[in-house]
Chain A
Amino acid sequence: MKRLSRTAKTDIFTYSLVTVGFIAAQLTQGAGLMSSSLKGQLVPICAYIVMAVSLNLTVGILGELSLGHAGFMSIGAFAGAVAAAVLEPIIPVPEIRLAAAMIIGAVFAGIAGILIGVPVLRLKGDYLAIVTLAFGEIVLNLINCLYVGVDSKGLRISMLTSAEALRLNPDGRVIINGPVGASGITKLSSFTAGFLLILITLFIVQNLVNSRAGRAILAVRDNRISAESVGISVTKHKMIAFVISAVLAGAAGVLFALNINTIVPTKFNFNTSILVLVFVVLGGLGNIWGSIIAAAVLTVLPEALRGFNNYRMLAYAIVLILVMLLTNSAFIKSTLGRPRLKRGAKT
Chain B
Amino acid sequence: MTFILYLINGVSLGGIYAIIALGYTMVYGIAKMLNFAHGDIIMVGAYVCFFAAASFGIPPVIGVLLAACVCAALGVIIEAFAYKPLRQAASLAVLITAIGVSYLLQNAALLLWKSNPRVFTSIVGTGAVRIWGLSITYVTITTILACIAIMICLTVFTGKTKMGKAMRACAEDKNAASLMGINVNVTISLTFAIGSALAAVAGALLCSAYPTLSPTTGSMPGIKAFTAAVFGGIGSVPGAMLGGVLLGIIEIFAKAYISTQLSDAIVFAVLIVVLLVKPAGLLGRQVHEKV
- Please determine if A and B sit in direct contact within the complex, based on CB atoms under 8 angstroms apart: yes
Instruction: Indicate if the CB atoms of A321 and B82 lie closer than 8 Å.
Output: yes
Report the nearest B residue to A320, measured CB to CB: B100
Interface of A is mostly: helix
Instruction: Indicate if the CB atoms of B96 and A278 lie closer than 8 Å.
Output: yes
Report the nearest A residue to B36, measured CB to CB: A274
- A12 located at the interface, meaning its Cβ lies under 8 Å from any Cβ of chain B in the complex: no
Report the nearest A residue to B231, measured CB to CB: A130
Instruction: Indicate if the CB atoms of A328 and B90 lie closer than 8 Å.
Output: yes
Instruction: Indicate if the CB atoms of A123 and B97 lie closer than 8 Å.
Output: no
User: A148 to B82, alpha carbons, bound, how many Å?
Assistant: 46
Partner of A314, one of B82, B107, B226: B107
Instruction: Indicate if the CB atoms of B289 and A341 lie closer than 8 Å.
Output: no
User: A245 to B104, alpha carbons, bound, how many Å?
Assistant: 30
10 contacts between A and B (CB under 8 A): A65-B95, A126-B28, A127-B275, A141-B261, A278-B96, A281-B95, A281-B96, A282-B96, A325-B97, A327-B93
Q: Which residues of A contact B2 (CB under 8 A)?
A: none
- B144 located at the interface, meaning its Cβ lies under 8 Å from any Cβ of chain A in the complex: no
- A193 located at the interface, meaning its Cβ lies under 8 Å from any Cβ of chain B in the complex: no
User: A321 to B92, alpha carbons, bound, how many Å?
Assistant: 13
Report the nearest A residue to B85, measured CB to CB: A329
Binds B, one of A132-140, A169-177, A204-212: A132-140
Instruction: Indicate if the CB atoms of B96 and A277 lie closer than 8 Å.
Output: yes
Instruction: Indicate if the CB atoms of A328 and B89 lie closer than 8 Å.
Output: yes
Instruction: Indicate if the CB atoms of A134 and B268 lie closer than 8 Å.
Output: yes
Instruction: Indicate if the CB atoms of A318 and B227 lie closer than 8 Å.
Output: no
Q: Which of A9-37 touch B at CB < 8 Å?
A: none
Given contacts A127-B275, A330-B85, A341-B92, contact A324 B111 (CB under 8 A): no
For this complex, into which size category does the number of interface residues on chain A fall?
Answer: 35 or more
Partner of B227, one of A130, A145, A324: A130
- A201 located at the interface, meaning its Cβ lies under 8 Å from any Cβ of chain B in the complex: no
Q: Which residues of B contact A313 (CB under 8 A)?
A: 103, 107, 110
Instruction: Indicate if the CB atoms of A131 and B100 lie closer than 8 Å.
Output: no
Q: Which residues of B contact A (CB under 8 A)?
A: 28, 34, 82, 85-86, 88-93, 95-97, 99-101, 103-104, 107-108, 110-111, 219, 223, 226-227, 230, 234, 259, 261-262, 264-265, 268-269, 271-272, 275-276, 279-281, 289, 291
Given contacts A317-B101, A321-B104, list 18 more A-B pairs with CB under 8 A: A59-B92, A120-B272, A127-B230, A127-B281, A129-B34, A130-B227, A130-B271, A131-B272, A133-B227, A137-B223, A140-B264, A145-B259, A225-B289, A282-B96, A316-B103, A316-B107, A320-B103, A324-B100
Instruction: Indicate if the CB atoms of B89 and A127 lie closer than 8 Å.
Output: no
Instruction: Indicate if the CB atoms of B86 and A134 lie closer than 8 Å.
Output: no
User: A328 to B223, alpha carbons, bound, how many Å?
Assistant: 26
Q: Which residues of A contact B279 (CB under 8 A)?
A: 122-124, 127
Partner of A131, one of B93, B219, B264, B271: B271
User: A89 to B179, alpha carbons, bound, how many Å?
Assistant: 74
Q: Which residues of B contact A140 (CB under 8 A)?
A: 264
Interface of B is mostly: helix
Report A307-347 CB contacts with B as 1/0, cut-off 8 Å.
00011011011101100110111100100000011010100
Q: Which residues of A contact B103 (CB under 8 A)?
A: 313, 316-317, 320
Given contacts A142-B265, A225-B291, contact A328 B272 (CB under 8 A): no
Q: Which residues of A contact B (CB under 8 A)?
A: 59, 65, 119-120, 122-124, 126-127, 129-131, 133-135, 137-138, 140-142, 144-145, 160, 225, 270, 274, 277-278, 281-282, 285, 310-311, 313-314, 316-318, 320-321, 324-325, 327-330, 333, 340-341, 343, 345
Instruction: Indicate if the CB atoms of A278 and B99 lie closer than 8 Å.
Output: yes
Q: Closest approach, in angstroms, between the C-beta of B74 and any C-beta of chain A?
A: 15
Q: Taking each of B34, B97, B259, which has the highest tally of chain A beta carbons within 10 Å of its own beta carbon?
A: B97
Instruction: Indicate if the CB atoms of B96 and A285 lie closer than 8 Å.
Output: no
Given contacts A134-B227, A313-B107, A320-B103, contact A341 B268 (CB under 8 A): no
Instruction: Indicate if the CB atoms of A325 and B85 lie closer than 8 Å.
Output: yes
User: A327 to B89, alpha carbons, bound, how many Å?
Assistant: 10
Instruction: Indicate if the CB atoms of A343 and B90 lie closer than 8 Å.
Output: yes
Given contacts A310-B111, A314-B111, A321-B101, contact A137 B34 (CB under 8 A): no
Instruction: Indicate if the CB atoms of B88 and A130 lie closer than 8 Å.
Output: no
Instruction: Indicate if the CB atoms of B262 and A135 lie closer than 8 Å.
Output: no
Given contacts A141-B261, A324-B97, contact A135 B272 (CB under 8 A): yes
Instruction: Indicate if the CB atoms of B91 and A341 lie closer than 8 Å.
Output: yes
Report the nearest B residue to A59, measured CB to CB: B92
Partner of A133, one of B104, B223, B259, B291: B223
